[in-house]
Structure 1
Amino acid sequence: MSGGDRARWDARHGAAQPSGAAPPGALAGAAELTACLPVSGRALDVACGRGGVAVWLARRGLVVDAVDVSPVGLAAGARLAASAGVAGRVRWVTHDLDAGLPADCRGPYDVVVCQLFRDPSRYADLAAALAPGGVLAITVLSEVDAGPGPFRAPAGELRTAFSDLETLLDRERDGEATLLARRVPVPRPPGSPPVRRPRS
């Protein structure tokens, strides 16, 4: 991403009205699936913008890494986290996602969220960051009901890219595509030692 793009996002976030914590867009119209998201563990919010989803996840009980290219957006998120009493549960990471995920944000995560940032070359990284049983919530702009565009996914892109995950919700309509999916845990052989995970 160029410096001009970063400045554009900074300007957009700087002009935006304050917003509150909100669940991932994948849950819009499907609130019953909220129970699929854990209430503890680690979460990654990719292209987190002003941090509304990151703070929602933190209030739910997760420890969150929130990544975005815009320092202005991240600063807004940090203020929101402080006002919500979860400042210590969110780490704000300034990073250009065109270069991939930050080196210290590779997982495993119990939840990975990516909203309205589409880069098919990053899809494998998002899937790889999931812990066994971890849930991915991703929404991108879509050609469905909207026609083609440089930032829009063709029909079926998310379903195909994450075909190795268990699909919980697959929705394409009104110019957006949404996928909620889970990495199925691999059963351990009887008597095998428990899997040790990094501390949050």
Structure 2
Amino acid sequence: MRASHTHSADRERWDARHAVDVAADAGAPAPPDALRGRTELLPAGGRALDVACGRGAVAVWLAARGFAVDAVDVSPVALDAGRELAAREGVTVRWVLHDLDAGLPASEPDSCGAHDVVVCQRFRDPARYPELPALLAPGGLLVITVLSEVDEGPGPFRAAAGELRAAFGALEVLHHVERAGEASLVARVSGPASVPGRR
């Protein structure tokens, strides 16, 4: 799983890693880890943001379910792989090249409070935690999975036990689990849920 870094070589390192992954596996759309077995929690439609999207498996999966998806990553190689996957699946995703160590992208003036789903998977940066709920519309869903110290012990990029619940406890927590070195949380912003056809 990915963690936040401040090194200038981040992009090159992730490009190299994704190039190896692309060579080994073309990839396929897939739900975020925290929603496996509970996809009924998804809003009926609307806008979605995939933070640190990697090769776009989740972004393309969301687009195939009718969401208008923005997908953000630091790696051009990963985004190119995402574009190819989206083309193969016949869906459209807006791919955004951005270094999340500098914060979430602010290219869209209406991005705050505009998303019905925000996914952050395999990227952990507690400095970004307060920014994520602010991107959600009322009733919007936050879906996050990070490396955890639980069952694995401490590490520089692992969340302490209870970190996600502490960070996002002001939301309505629908699912939270910490085990086998991972922590996942699904939470909803209070307010009405998204309705079919909303964009």
Q: TM-score surpassing 0.5?
A: yes
- The match for 2:41 among 30, 36, 44 is 36
Q: 1:9 aligns with which of 6, 14, 19?
A: 14
Equivalent in the alignment of 2:121? 115
RMSD: 1.3
- Normalised to the residue count of structure 2, the TM-score between the two structures is 0.89
Structure 1 distance, partners of 2:128, 2:53, is: 15
Q: 2:35 aligns with which of 6, 27, 34?
A: 27
Task: Establish whether residue 167 from structure 1 lines up as the match of residue 188 from structure 2.
Answer: no
Question: In structure 2, how many angstroms separate the alpha carbons of the residues matched to 1:106 and 1:91?
Answer: 17
Instruction: Structure 2 unaligned segments of length 5 or more: list them.
Output: 1-5, 193-197
- Give secondary structure in 2 for the equivalent of 1:3: coil
Letter in 2 for 1:176: E
- Give the drift of 1:106: 3.6
- Deviation per CA, 1:162-184: give whole Å up to 9, x if none: 01110110000000000000001
Q: In the TM superposition, what are the counterparts of 1:62-73 in structure 2 within 5 Å?
A: 62-73=67-78
Partner of 2:26: helix, strand, or coil?
coil
Larger radius of gyration: 1
Of the three residues 122, 134, 137, the one matched with 1:131 is: 137
C-alpha separation between the residues in 2 aligned to 1:110 and 1:38?
A: 7
Equivalent residue in structure 1 for 2:149, among 131, 134, 143 = 143
Corresponding residue pairs, total: 183
TM-score (norm 1): 0.88
Alignment partners' CA distance in 1, 2:61 and 2:132? 20
Q: Distance in 2 between matches of 1:55 and 1:167?
A: 25
Q: Which runs of 5+ in 1 are unaligned?
A: 187-198
Amino acid at match of 2:33: G
SS at match of 2:143: strand
% same residue: 66
